Amino acid sequence: MQVEVLKLRNALGLLEGLTKPKVETVETTVKVRGRSRTKVSKERTWPVLRNVMLQDGRAVATDLDIAVMVDLPEATSGRYLLPFKQVSKLLTYVPGNQEVTIEMQGNTVSLTWPEGSATYATESVDDYPVIPEIKPVMRHSVSADILVPALVSMLDYCAQEESRPVLCSVILLLGNPLEVAAGDGFRMAFKALTVGWPSSDGISSILLPAKVVDTLAHLWRKAPRPMPDDLSKVGGIAELVVNKGNMDIEISPILILVKFGSVSMLAKTTQGTPPNFKEFIASAAGNAAQKVQLYGADLERALRRIAVPSKDKQPSVRMVWTEDKMVLSSEAKEGNVETTIPVHTFNGAGRIALNMGYLQEYASGKEGLITMACTTRTAPVVFTHSRSPLVGMMPMQVIWPDEAPPEVKAEAVEEAKAQAEAGTTEPRETDDDKNETTEQELDSQEEPESLTL
């Protein structure tokens, strides 16, 4: 097989990130003494996934959850496995206008070009997993320029723990308009798009794992722009360069296939019922008792000032506002800092405590006005900014200076007395005993309230 170096180099660049050896746990049922059965878990490795497969006019890479196919018309006959890491590095130093000849013999692949040659050991082509065919129940076409950035804007709000796959996913809510949402249990985000996607066949939402969204974003950034069928309808060269056109999407109960230009991505979707983040945020914003407007740049600078290096896992920011100013403060064993920024408030003074890290991530790079809506000290605080998604954050429960620390319940005191009278040298520590700490110690243990999902 012969292919232009530049074409092969570009195809491999699109497949980056999917060529790592996969280790998966496989459960098998075995007989014990010929009668009873038990399940045994074994780890299975897939070293063949380090390679890219050239076959049927495509270059293919997969990690068993996501498969990406790039059109490569030269690969129309035979099957070839290319070690991704080695071949990608090699082609970096081969002129793009030259042609490379690829041959495969057994578990060895060789590449030859006018100025040199290379030979690599690979796995058997028969060990490469078969890419399944999707049986779609619905199809739709949507603007990649609108959908992909919206999906990416949700990634920061996905959970990191793989044990919660639904919260590790971005949710597509089908309808007019199309909507996206995500949440990790402490934060949530929601955005309505300017395009529609009507639900059908009982499918009203699609859950895309965070890695699927990340892979789609990588492909969207690097893939060649698809040429429109009718060039006469294009508004000009600038529009042709900027607009990547529509992506065609097919959905089955467990798979999603996305196509645009020369690239296709087939991926597993997350199975489960997503939380109703839209209603949660809308309810909190609509019932807000207080609203505060402030400039994003002011908030970002203020947070930098008060960010005391701390060993606290969940440092908090206390926000206290009056009609025209807000005092932000952080308190930790290592030190206390406060600063003041101008604000405009509705419905009087108020206060709330939020997670420092979450608030810093939200404020980063935001210019112009941010509106913060608060309902109660335990309800989500909803942030609105320009065209950014609506973001809700669960507040942190702290002890304010004018509040008394939690009281020890009478029952706990009586129990401690009874233990002492019985000769117990180490009375059992109760939950209320744990709460009998100084205000500063309580601050060091603060955690944000979790969403009820």
| pLDDT digit string, tens, across residues 4-29 | 999 999 999 999 888 876 665 555 66
Per-residue pLDDT at 435 exceeds 70: no
> 335: phi > 0 → left, psi -120 to 50 → alpha, else beta; which?
left
Contact 441, 398 (CB under 8 A): no
For the chain, give every domain's residue range: 2-127, 138-268, 276-453
- What mean pLDDT is predicted for residues 122-130? 92
Please list the residues that pair with 117 across neighbouring strands: 112
Q: Which of 350-359, 420-429, 443-452 has the highest mean pLDDT?
A: 350-359
Q: Which residues contact residue 306 at a Cβ distance below 8 angstroms, ignoring those fewer than 6 apart?
A: 317, 328, 329, 330, 337, 338, 339
Per-residue pLDDT at 410 exceeds 90: no
CA angle 367, 373, 378 (to 5 degrees): 130
Show the tokens assigned to 44: 């299975």
Q: What is the mean pLDDT of the chain?
A: 83
Distance CA 233, CA 243 (A): 13
Per-residue pLDDT at 175 exceeds 60: yes
Per-residue pLDDT at 422 exceeds 70: no
- Which pLDDT score is estimated for 230? 57
- What mean pLDDT is predicted for residues 318-327? 94
State phi, psi for 215 to the nearest 5 degrees: -65, -40
- Going by C-alpha positions, the residue among 257, 157, 144 that lies closest to residue 195 is 144
Q: Which residues contact residue 429 at a Cβ distance below 8 angstroms, ignoring those fewer than 6 apart?
A: none
- Which pLDDT score is estimated for 85? 93
Distance CA 347, CA 372 (A): 13
Show the tokens assigned to 209: 């794992």
Q: Which DSSP symbol is given to 59? A: E
CATH architecture of the domain with range 2-127:
Roll (3.10)
- Which pLDDT score is estimated for 428? 45
Q: Which DSSP symbol is given to 351? A: E
Distance CA 125, CA 134 (A): 23
pLDDT digits (tens, 9 = 90+) for 70-93: 999 988 888 999 999 999 999 999
E-assigned strand segments in 269-312: 290-295
CA angle 226, 232, 234 (to 5 degrees): 50
Asked whether this chain's domains 2-127 and 138-268 adopt the same fold, the reply is yes
Q: Which DSSP symbol is given to 261? A: T
Contact 101, 112 (CB under 8 A): yes
As a whole-number percent, the residues of the chain with pLDDT over 90 amount to 59
Q: Which DSSP symbol is given to 133? A: P
Distance CA 377, CA 375 (A): 7
Per-residue pLDDT at 321 exceeds 50: yes
- Which pLDDT score is estimated for 281? 86
- Which pLDDT score is estimated for 163? 84
With cut-offs at 50, 70 and 90, classify the pLDDT of residue 299.
very high
Residue bearing the bigger pLDDT, 163 or 384? 384
Show the tokens assigned to 183: 């949440």
Task: Classify domain 276-453 at the CATH topology level.
Answer: DNA Polymerase III; Chain A, domain 2 (3.10.150)
DSSP string, 372-396: EEE--TTSPEEEE-TTSPEEEEPPB
CATH architecture of the domain with range 138-268:
Roll (3.10)
With cut-offs at 50, 70 and 90, classify the pLDDT of residue 314.
confident
In a 13 Å sphere around the CA of 329, the CA atoms on its Cβ side amount to: 15
- Which pLDDT score is estimated for 409? 53
Residue bearing the bigger pLDDT, 432 or 397? 397
Per-residue pLDDT at 320 exceeds 80: yes
Per-residue pLDDT at 260 exceeds 80: yes
